[in-house]
Structure 1
Amino acid sequence: MMGFAFLICALFLFAAPAFAQSVALTIPENARAKTYGDGWNCNRGYRRDGDVCVVVIVPENAYQTNLTYGSGWECLHGFRAGVDGDCIAVIVPDGGFLDPSGEQWNCLRGYLKVADHCQEIVLPENSYLSDEPYGPPWTCKRGFEAKEDVCSAISVPVNAYLNSSEYGKPWTCERGFLEQGDVCEEVVIPAHAYFDDATYGTGWKCARGYAVAGNSCEVIDMPANAHLDRSGNRWACDRSFQRSNGRCVLDN
């Protein structure tokens, strides 16, 4: 008998806090208890404001979100929220389109956004629309270069061709010619030399065993105990020898 009474007391002790909590929970009007856990949520069409549920007033061109937080409504696609709690239509100018957010607009290709309208891009002759995010909205065709608001023909000197470089001169000299100012001069290759593709220098290099001497290539006169270095155009002393007065002497 005493065991049964003890069991009843234990059950009462465990149930008392939950019972007290459920009694203490005050659910305001237009609300319902949460399915899980403690607390309550506002009914559909209402939103929480402190400890009460207030009706959601949906302005024109808006819809209910049925969320328990925030304003409880959002503007329809093509409208944006105004400062007075209303939904203002997004006015898309000619040459523009409504972006995916439904709250802003962008200009179509071929138009430029200027203030609240889209200005048509006027292409100069010999140009085409550019998709670059910076700089002018157009690019000159091959063979032309931008000068202020026009595309001027590039003057290519004799023995040169147009290149695709974005820097420096828009043309390159043909092989066998070297850039000298605004012209391409033929490279005069001396005996015992060959053409050099470098865009600087004389345009030629001496063959192995020869060294530059002014505008010609002279044979390298090597002293005893010497050999040509990696360039092939200079000499160096053999191992255990050092250079001294144009000779290779034993390194003591």
Structure 2
Amino acid sequence: MDSQHKITLTQPHKALSFFQCLIVMMIFAISAVVFGQAEAAEPPANARSKGYLGEWECLQGFRKDVDACVAITIPQNAYATNSSYDRGWECRHGYRREIDACVEINLPENAYLTSLGAHWSCDRGYQKIDNACARIDVPENAYLSDNNFGSGWECERGFRVAGNACEPVSVPSNAYATNTSYGRGWECERGFREQAGQCAPLVAPENGFLVTTTSGGDWECARGYRAVKDACVKVIVPENGYLTGTVYGSGWKCERGYKAQGGVCVAVMMPENAHLDYSGNDWECDAPYRRQTNSCVGA
């Protein structure tokens, strides 16, 4: 009885050991095949091994073509790039590639080769027209620009382009030229504003001062005053209020614990279980109470 029981316990262990051995043998067999193939794989002619698993690269002067290394044919006026990919050569400075040849670049008069040597640009004062460099005719009151497009010149300050010439900008009194190619070409000096093509003087009202703003305002009121049409009117601050210094609204706010009502500041009347809110000019209920008309009721 004990003997049979012992045999029953050892049989699953034997079966498990058999399958483990089988798996290990298969792994060794697959590894042997893979490494055997890698070792057996020889690089093609004019190539050398690179790393493992049969990797290889072509020798200098050859480039890869599918599974072979073919000789690189370097045309005249070219040099080898030492690359086993692409065509394996580049044209020398002053030549450009055309199919499988290097053709000399014909420089027009008043031109120079670019740094890469495969293209050309015109000298300063000339611009490219077709395959030549034409002289830029700079009109009176103009100067050469550094732009590679357009006319190649710009007008001096106080002049504007008119066809192929630079015409003077008519600047009225108390104005200055802006040197822009758009708009009227001038702006009024500080303290003046454009009016019918002229610069009329600005006059700030009493308790106001001149300003220069992007919004177009010419003057602003001093603190404690606000603009009403063309005048600066004094801001009347009620009791328990203070000046805000803003140009919008009433110009004043009530102190904390007071709220604006009919142009005056009245005390905030809080019911039981309430407190002033974030503004300080109204109230809200303590948690967990909720507001109901003018009182705080339980949830």
Length-normalised TM-score, structure 1? 0.67
Tell me which residue corresponds to 1:126. 141
Deviation of 1:92 after TM superposition, in Å, equals 0.9
Q: Does 1:225 align with 2:262?
A: no
Note the 1:14-29 alignment, pairs <5 A. Answer: none
Note the 1:29-108 alignment, pairs <5 A. Answer: 61-62=76-77, 65=80, 69=84, 75-83=91-99, 85-108=100-123
Q: Does 1:112 align with 2:127?
A: yes
CA distance in 2, matches of 1:26, 1:250: 97
Check the 8 A contact 1:42/1:48 in 2, yes or no: no
Partner AA of 1:132 in structure 2: N
CA distance in 2, matches of 1:128, 1:196: 36
Deviation of 1:138 after TM superposition, in Å, equals 1.4
Give me the CA root mean square deviation: 4.0
Check the 8 A contact 1:95/1:108 in 2, yes or no: yes
Deviation of 1:118 after TM superposition, in Å, equals 1.7
Gaps of 5+ in 1: 1-16
Deviation of 1:91 after TM superposition, in Å, equals 0.9
Structure 1 range deviating more: 240-249 or 192-201: 192-201
Q: Does 1:251 align with 2:268?
A: yes
The 3 A distance-change label for structure 1 pair 135 and 245 is farther
The 3 A distance-change label for structure 1 pair 52 and 168 is closer
Length-normalised TM-score, structure 2? 0.58
Structure 1 range deviating more: 126-135 or 103-112: 126-135
CA distance in 2, matches of 1:64, 1:202: 69
Q: Does 1:161 align with 2:170?
A: no
The 3 A distance-change label for structure 1 pair 98 and 240 is same
SS, match of residue 124 in structure 2? coil
SS, match of residue 93 in structure 1? coil
The 3 A distance-change label for structure 1 pair 251 and 104 is same
Q: Does 1:237 align with 2:239?
A: no
Check the 8 A contact 2:113/2:119 in 1, yes or no: yes
CA distance in 1, matches of 2:224, 2:44: 103
Deviation of 1:97 after TM superposition, in Å, equals 1.4
CA distance in 1, matches of 2:57, 2:259: 97
SS, match of residue 106 in structure 2? coil
Question: How many aligned residue pairs are there?
Answer: 225
Gaps of 5+ in 2: 1-35, 270-299
The 3 A distance-change label for structure 1 pair 116 and 240 is same
Partner AA of 1:88 in structure 2: V
Partner AA of 1:242 in structure 2: K
SS, match of residue 189 in structure 1? coil
Structure showing greater relative contact order (alpha-carbon pairs closer than 8 Å, 6 or more residues apart): 1
